Every structure is written in structure tokens, then in C-alpha cells.
Amino acid sequence: MTSFVRDARRLVVKIGSSLLTNEGRGLDQSAITSWVAQIAVLRQQHKEVVLVSSGAVAEGMQRLGLNERPKALHMLQAAAAVGQMGLAQVWESCFAEHQIRTAQILLTHEDLAARKRYLNARSTLRTLLQLGVVPIINENDTVATDEIRVGDNDTLGALVTNLIEADGLIILTDQAGLFTADPRRDPTAQLVQEAQAGDPHLEEMAGGVGSNVGRGGMITKVTAAKRAARSGAHTAIVSGHEPRVLERLAKGESIGTQLSAATQTLTAKKQWLADHLQIKGQLTLDRGAVRALSTEGKSLLPIGVTAVSGSFERGELVCCLDEDAHEIARGLINYDADETAKILKQPSEAIESILGYIDEEELIHRDNLVILG
């Protein structure tokens, strides 16, 4: 299989904490210099590159003399604030040696969950790329709380890939790629060289968190590839220790694990809906409603909903579950949780008599609904 990177024109490159900080011992200037030189080569090939950089918390830990990742939120935020200074300085100075300008962008989930802020972020990133700037993105750990946290930079990389409609996502990690089992525990584990993103077997193969300096693990990389595939982007999970890894991928060499996207892609708005990470409620659907959504392309009506849970307002995101509690769709609901509980299992013509008014006949209109497969 030839690497998709050869023909890609817009790429997101994500580099993990353990690589950037040499397993927590401080920023690895030599490695960063090498990756920057490789990105410079990609740009000479007229490829646009957005960099998602981990390492702020890990660098802050090193600067503050902390041996373990802090558990208290205020200490995590302080470590991120200290580490972000060093991280930005190193990236800027290394890119400057190649006469490449950089820009720092710090995001939280709120920046991607609110439609207006999402569009503003997309416009900013596209403008920076048009200006020949390399955007360097990290989660804004200095202010992020659990309620607004993306969670890990693999996921952030996938969200950015969809945001700018990149052709591919390259995840540089400290492993050679995805294996059939954890190679550190199972000597018979085999490298998965190629597969389709979203294959449920991939999640079964993936293990937990792989280091003590980052939040991710192979499972987050596999799910990131699945998320990136929604916009038609392919993903490569490769070792950042491989010599000239980005250049070799750009020449078409197949390295690590290549996860390909399905041919059908979601529209931009439905990508945004699918990528919401914080769901406000759940609706359980009967078989007829599941069929209407999944195969007939219809809106969700209250008569097909058998149960509701969560606390949500009109216009917030809810997920739709089948009778076996599998998520089949998510969308923006037209009624709040209390109203939904009153009208579930009822025909649409009964909404006005039950609530005293009617806003919409549908609980979720098909234009605000995305089917998850």
C-alpha cells in the first residue's frame, strides 16, 4: 500500500508528549529540529501542514521539578502555563531557521462545540495556511476543565483534520504503529500495516495509556482515525523515531499503520455534529424509528422514542440509542428534556395539546441529525 501522504495537499501532523519531551525529561530539541526540517521539505512539495503539538504539561512538569503528572486541576493548569512558554519558543525558533512563520492556537472543546466559534476557528486556520504560516495547535490546558476539555491531542488532531478538511492525519507516536496486541506484553503481536478506519476490530486490538506523561494511548489513536475518516481523511500511525519519517511518507513509503477512510464523507455541518464530544442527553428509539433514521433518511418523531435521560435544552446535542443501547445517531433536539419526556411515544399531532404549543413536528430534523456507522 502506497502512503496517502504522497498525494495529500493538506496534512495535520500530531506529535505526542513522550516523543516531544523524551519521555518527560524535557523538550527534545534535536528531535524537534528534525521534524521541523521534514515539515519544511513537505512545504517545498507544496503541502500545507498544521501541527498539533503535545508536551505543554510535560514540559511544565520538568521545569517545575514534578515527577508525576499532577492530579489537582489547578496544578495541571499551572504546569501547562509554564510549559507552553517553552514549547512555543522551541517551535518558533526551529521553524525560523527555515524562514517559516508559525502561529500558536490554543483550543478547548467549547471552541469547537459552539457553531460560531467553530466557523471562526476554521476561518483563522485557513487564512494562516493561505499566508504560508504553520499553525501550531494545542489544547488550552491552562483554562480547560473537565466540562470543556477535548481530552487528548489525538482527538484534537482528528477534530482539526475535520475542521480544515485536511486530506490526512499523521500521528507520530513512540510505537511502530498499531499491533494486534500490545507488543510490550505479547511477543507474538503483529503490526497492522493497513486497515479501514472505524473497523471495530481495531479498537479491540488497541490498549490503554502508553506512557506516564501523556493522556493518550493506542485506543485514542484508533478512535481519532475513525473520527478523521468522517471528512474523508486517511490516518497514518507511525513511530516518530523512524528516520526522516515524514519525508518517507511523502515519497509514498508505507510506514507504520495506514488507516484508510471510506469513500463517502459527511457534509461540513454533519461533521461538526458528529464531532461533538459532550452529549447532553440520550433518547432510546424503537425499531421503527431506528429504521426510519438509518435506512430511510427521515427525521426523528416523538412517537418513535421510548425513553429519555439527561438534562438538556432546546438546540443541544443528544444521542439516539437503539434498544440494545448502541448509539446510532446524534443531533440537535427541538425540545428540552422535560418537554421530550411528556411527548415521547406520542404522534406529532398531539404535541400541541400536550405542551400547549408546538415548535416543530420533529424531535430532531434530519438536517440536524447525523447517522453514526
Q: Does residue 13 sit in the same domain as residue 92?
A: yes
Q: Does residue 211 sit in the same domain as residue 74?
A: yes
Q: Does residue 122 sit in the same domain as residue 252?
A: yes
CA 92 to mean position of chain CA atoms: 24
Domain boundary among 271, 291, 320: 271
Domain boundary among 247, 271, 295: 271
Q: Does residue 155 sit in the same domain as residue 300?
A: no
Least confident of 25-29, 150-154, 195-199: 150-154
Its pTM surpasses 0.75: yes
Indicate the pLDDT class of residue 146, thresholds 50, 70 and 90.
low
Q: What per-residue confidence (pLDDT) applies to 215?
A: 45
Phi, psi of 129 (to 5 degrees): -65, -40
Contact predicate 168/49, CB 8 Å: no
Is pLDDT larger for residue 218 or for residue 96? 96
Grid coordinates 495547535 are at which residue? 137
Least confident of 47-51, 252-256, 271-275, 342-346: 271-275
Percent of the chain with pLDDT over 70: 92
Contact predicate 157/12, CB 8 Å: yes
Contact predicate 350/358, CB 8 Å: no
Indicate the pLDDT class of residue 12, thresholds 50, 70 and 90.
very high
Expressed in percent and rounded to 5, the helix, strand and coil fractions of the chain are 40, 20, 40
Indicate the pLDDT class of residue 69, thresholds 50, 70 and 90.
confident
Q: Which amino acid is at 274?
A: A
> What's the longest Cα–Cα distance across the chain?
70
Q: Stretch 311-330: mean pLDDT, rounded?
A: 93
Q: Does residue 155 sit in the same domain as residue 214?
A: yes
Angle at 249 between CA 243 and CA 253, to 5 degrees: 95
Residue 158's nearest CA partner among 225, 236, 240 is: 225
Residue span of the structural domain in which 218 resides: 4-271
Indicate the pLDDT class of residue 148, thresholds 50, 70 and 90.
very low
Q: Stretch 185-190: mean pLDDT, rounded?
A: 86
Q: Stretch 53-69: mean pLDDT, rounded?
A: 86
Q: Does residue 295 sit in the same domain as residue 260?
A: no
CATH number at residue 158: 3.40.1160.10
Q: Does residue 249 sit in the same domain as residue 303?
A: no
Q: What per-residue confidence (pLDDT) applies to 207?
A: 63
Domain boundary among 271, 288, 312: 271
Indicate the pLDDT class of residue 211, thresholds 50, 70 and 90.
very low
Q: What per-residue confidence (pLDDT) applies to 209?
A: 44
CA gap 107, 141 in Å, rounded: 9
Q: Does residue 182 sit in the same domain as residue 285?
A: no
Q: Does residue 183 sit in the same domain as residue 316?
A: no
Answer yes or no: is pLDDT of 220 > 50: yes
Answer yes or no: is pLDDT of 42 > 90: yes
Q: What per-residue confidence (pLDDT) applies to 1?
A: 64
User: Average model confidence (pLDDT) for the chain?
Assistant: 88
Q: Does residue 27 sit in the same domain as residue 165?
A: yes
CATH number at residue 352: 2.30.130.10
Indicate the pLDDT class of residue 214, thresholds 50, 70 and 90.
very low
Q: Does residue 287 sit in the same domain as residue 342?
A: yes
Answer yes or no: is pLDDT of 208 > 70: no
Sheet-wide strand order for 317-321:
305-310, 281-285, 317-321, 327-332, 369-371
Q: Does residue 318 sit in the same domain as residue 182?
A: no
Query: What's the domain count of the chain?
Result: 2
Contact predicate 229/198, CB 8 Å: yes
